[in-house]
Structure 1
């Protein structure tokens, strides 16, 4: 184990030191990457349990204490309001917002938030002007890997070379995945990606696809006007597949698919850990799903 020290808050409010640097990650893709880069020199605690929709995450007092006591908190501002708030209060000087490492895309916006509850208003105050789903572009995640290696190296100079070497290896794996996806999606007869909600903007941007989300927010129901608009577009562009997602009800996508004579297929936005495999294998499964649906040769 590494010598990078972290203090972990206890129930009594006291602090104790541990042998390995403790790094808290906000959601699965960051956990996967941090474990890859950190190796045995850190211990990683992920705040979002498998199968939990990360946007809805509510932190326990113990999780807030873990953030307060960690050597570093790795997150993406704008995904999880509860995490953003806890880091602002307890770990601003020991946090790494992965979105700051890459060029972000502008967020899609829904019309207003009239009639929302006080809690919903507070959540929208934490919204950011960019799309936070940066991990769905492997080339951007490769850049994050390099910067994460540098951050960990600065926090623990005794193990700096190991962090940087593992970061370079992770970045190379992600660059290879990016090349594989670019090749696999470069010969598709259709370029239109109709999805349950707009989580795949970075994937679409990287591989010259057009994302059309039925909704922007996975928690919201589309208006009849929006459904009609997407149905018309799907028919006009001869879309054969409407994509549903893990962790999101497929009902609306299934209704739309029935209306336009399309089938449905599942894309994994990797907001929570895959049931099998890891980030790389889940992205390769997404690639195969997309190649079948979009008629790629």
Structure 2
């Protein structure tokens, strides 16, 4: 496997890793690697008990900034299926391009423009679930029917989530949403105008002019809440909210689990976000 051959040989002597980063994975003969949490969740749901699913992003870590270890690169090399989002994590892209021998499911075709956060639209994640089902069925024909059934069950759950968002956000007094960084743009599917304090990078610092413009926007549109988010410091969001006299609350970008959300999953986190949005928007 080119320069990784000695590493892979050593890796075979290591104990088998547990299935997923939140300790709630599946086990089986098929090895699946997912680049970060939303794709891990899909892979786990579709794989069921027939595969081991690894995440390349540790719990509580911001996936934008992830760098792979040598061992994780070896995991990519020996995986039967890799589920990834091209262009989102450069170190993962490099490992997939150079070392992946198994099937690769790249969710990039669900991305709109430069915004990678497609999983905020459950219908786009459903499309990935179907492709993961097909890839696993091809890699492990003996359990193909199970993979396809699991994929369809997940698609059903995601479509139900989409319906909940459409109905829950259909009648809101305020449809402008101010968030820490531009990770929620796909919520425009539900009629929301989402404005990030910073752009696509959660580490960027807003300029004083940007903060003044946002303060004016909040006053003009009647925004009641400035949202901070998990995995990112809430300091700027709190400062802006205090300046204009509105509340703060938290939206989860569902990029990864933390100690506080370890007992939740993609569906429950998205539904919790929905309730926060309904409260902020005075939705009926």
State the TM bucket, normalised to the shorter chain: 0.7 to 0.9
Deviations 1:229-265 (A, max 9, x none): 1111111111110000001111111111111111100
Q: CA RMSD in A?
A: 2.0
User: Which residue is equivalent to 1:36?
Assistant: 45
Contact 2:105 2:131 in 1 (8 A): no
| Residues 76 and 12 (structure 1), Cα distance of their counterparts in 2 relative to 1, 3 Å cut | closer
- What is the alpha-carbon distance in structure 2 between the residues aligned to residue 178 and residue 45 of structure 1? 27
Tell me what 1:208 maps to.
Answer: 191
| Structure 1 residue 15, shift from structure 2 partner | 8.0
1:95 match: secondary structure: strand
Partners of 1:269 and 1:198 in 2: CA distance: 10
Residues 129-154 of structure 1 deviation map (CA, whole Å, 9 limit, x = unaligned): xx111111111111111111111112
Q: 2:117 aligns with which of 133, 141, 146?
A: 133
CA distance in 1, matches of 2:62, 2:11: 31
- 1:230 has 2:230 as partner: no
Residues 9/238 of structure 1: CA separation in 2 closer, same or farther (3 Å cut): farther
Contact 1:77/1:132 (<8 A) preserved = no
The counterpart of 2:32, out of the listed 23, 31, 39, is 23
Aligned equivalents of 1:39, 1:192: Cα separation in 2 = 39
1:198-277 equivalence runs, <5 A? 198-202=182-186, 204-216=187-199, 217-273=201-257, 274-277=261-264
User: For the residues of structure 2 that align with 1:138 and 1:171, how far apart are their CA atoms?
Assistant: 9
Q: 1:12 to 1:73 in 2, by over 3 A?
A: closer
Q: What is the count of residue pairs matched by the alignment?
A: 264
Alignment partner of 1:13 is 2:15? no
What is the TM-score when the length of structure 2 is the normalising length?
A: 0.88
C-alpha displacement of 1:226: 1.1
In the alignment, structure 1 residue 279 sits paired with structure 2 residue 279: no
What TM-score does the superposition give when structure 1 sets the normalisation length? 0.84
User: What residue is the counterpart of 2:21 in the other structure?
Assistant: none
Change (3 A) 1:12 1:279: closer
Pair 1:186 & 2:170 matched: yes
Structure 2 stretches of 5 or more lacking a match? Answer: 17-27
Deviation digits for residues 171-219 of structure 1 (CA, Å, limit 9, x no counterpart)? 00110111011111111111101000000011x2221100100101101
| 2: CA distance, partners of 1:34 / 1:233 | 40
- Structure 1 stretches of 5 or more lacking a match? 1-7, 108-130
Out of 55, 58, 70, the residue aligned to residue 49 of structure 1 is: 58
CA positional deviation for 1:228: 1.2
Give the SS at the match of 1:13.
Answer: helix
Please say if residues 27 and 271 of structure 1, whose CA atoms lie closer than 8 Å, have aligned partners that are also in contact.
Answer: yes
1: CA distance between counterparts of 2:101 and 2:61? 25
Partner of 1:292: 279
Q: What is the CA-CA distance between 1:12 and the residue it aligns to?
A: 5.6
